[in-house]
Amino acid sequence: MPALPQKGATVAATVARPRLHGWRHPAILAAGALSVASGFAQFGVFTALGDVATAFGEGSGGGVAAELGLSATTLGLGLGVIRLAALGGLPLSALADRRGRKSVLLGCSAIGLGLTALAALSPGYWVFIALFALGRPLLSASNAVAGVIAAEETRVADRAAAIALLTAAYGLGAGLPAALRAAVPALTGEPLGFRSLFAMSIVPLLCLPLAARFLEEPDRFTRLRAVAGGSRLGLGVVHRQLRARLGLLCLLAFAATFVTGPVNGYVFAYAENVLGVSPTVTFFIVLAAAPLGLLGLLAGRWTADVWGRRTTCVAMHVVVGVAGIAAYTGSLPLAIGGYLAGLVAGSAYAPAIGALSAEIFPTEERATAAGWLTAAGALGAVAGLTAFGIAADAFASFAPAAVLVSLPVALTAPAYLRLPETRGLELEESAPDVR
């Protein structure tokens, strides 16, 4: 891969060593709190989809529409719109390279949470979808920028841990809607409707001023801006010498979600409807997923710092692909084992790819690169879900569909070795800012 631009003196050489923190610093914890809010607001719609369909549907006709209230086509189109709306997070993330990390993170979080809360008042299904689609890119951008803050605020020894913390925070937020929908009826005897669930987004919205007190503009960004001014690149643009590197990373991000999207999206329907698993067994699988996901994050943090970023990415990328095939091509134990193995590997992959993607781009374009990777991941998930569904229908079986989406992904893993290894390097060493 091409090296960083080398024309002129590096800005990093003229800037004093930045003030850095450990992964438990209040600024990192505040960014993690906003990641929890982002995960909660983005994934509530998937958890409460049945309630949404019942509330806005008429239940007429036959088939899925009679059972759920809305047709599968209508539901699928709505979810597709929401997923694709995440692409709008690219220019918003890139804005953080011009306006600053803290202001973009707080602004995107505030508007995104506000739109999610407003969706609780939706008079109809497509108004509901429109409000979520407007909020999705803002929340995607807030999560991407939070990751940039975690990378720039920490020392090299703490960077993978900080990114693992934010990944865990986002996962916690994504799981909160399901937990609340289970806990509230148990405690009150009344179901938690989707309107009440989305109205809860007001709580983190009101807590934003508190988070703002602890968030910091990373020294790496403020010192670069003081010396060099703002970014001179166009919105969403990276240096020409780094475009091939960014393109390769986007391809790998696309590949990763191309398999995790359908594998995680269809696995419980496959287990219950094809393998005959009871909802009780499904519940225990979900229960086991949380500690195993945390174990994967801890393992990924360790391997990223000991094996290296690239080696960890290659290994986990392969495991995710193989696990995806196993989950749909064998007996029930193999299906459960494949799903959980893919979950652990995907969790272990997150700290390594998060650190690597931050460490190979200079400060001037780090948030822009994060936005591109978020967009590529969103496209990969949509493409994977579509390809898996078409293949499963065409072959009347899940197994060929799993091979179709998983095997090519596993074969792309060696491409990580074309990227530079950044283990043990500070950002000023792995990606110096240049002019």
Same domain assignment for residues 142 and 69: yes
> What digits encode the pLDDT tens for the residues 190-201?
888 889 999 999
The verdict on 168 and 307 lying in the same domain is no
Q: Do 253 and 189 belong together in one domain? A: no
279 and 209 within one domain: no
Total domains in the chain come to 2
Residue 1 lies inside a defined structural domain of this protein: no
pLDDT tens digit string along 56-65? 876 555 544 5
Same domain flag for 94 and 54? yes
Residue 13 in domain:
no
Q: Model confidence at 281, in pLDDT bands (50, 70, 90)?
A: confident
Residue 14 clears pLDDT 60, i.e. is over it: no
- The verdict on residue 12 lying in a domain is no
Specify the pLDDT at position 61. Answer: 53
In a domain, 225, yes or no: no
Residue 227 lies in a domain: no
Q: Are residues 380 and 244 part of one domain?
A: yes
Return the top range by mean pLDDT from 234-243, 259-268, 309-318: 309-318
Residue finishing a domain among 165, 191, 217: 217
Residue 158 in any domain: the answer is yes
Residue finishing a domain among 184, 217, 250: 217
Per-residue pLDDT at 296: 95
Q: Do 286 and 392 share a domain, yes or no?
A: yes
Whether residue 360 is contained in a domain is answered as yes
Q: 185 and 258 share a domain? A: no
Per residue in 215-260, pLDDT tens?
999 998 998 877 766 566 666 788 889 999 999 999 999 999 898 8
Q: Which of 217, 243, 274 is the last residue of a domain?
A: 217
Same domain? 390 vs 423: yes
Q: Is residue 104 part of a domain?
A: yes
Same domain, 53 and 191: yes
Residue-wise pLDDT tens digits, 104-151: 999 999 999 999 999 999 999 899 999 999 999 999 999 999 999 999
For the chain, give the secondary structure using H, E and C. CCCCCCCCCECHHHCCCCCCECCCCHHHHHHHHHHHHHHHHHHHHHHCHHHHHHHHCCCCCCHHHHHHCCCHHHHHHHHHHHHHHHHHHHHHHHHHHHHCHHHHHHHHHHHHHHHHHHHHHCCCHHHHHHHHHHHHHHHHHHHHHHHHHHHHHECHHHHHHHHHHHHHHHHHHHHHHHHHHHHHHHHHCCCCCHHHHHHCCHHHHHCHHHHHHHCCCCHHHHHHHHHHCCCCCCCCCCCHHHHHHHHHHHHHHHHHHHHHHHHHHHHHHHHHHCCCCCHHHHHHHHHHHHHHHHHHHHHHHHHHHHCCHHHHHHHHHHHHHHHHHHHHCCCHHHHHHHHHHHHHHHHHHHHHHHHHHHHCCCHHHHHHHHHHHHHHHHHHHHHHHHHHHHHHHHHCCHHHHHHHHHHHHHHCHHHHHHCCCCCCCCHHHHCCCEC
Domain range for 326: 234-435
Q: What is the pTM of this model?
A: 0.83
Residues 293 and 412 reside in one and the same domain: yes
Residue 243 and residue 143 share a domain? no
- Identify the CATH number of the domain in which residue 340 sits: 1.20.1250.20
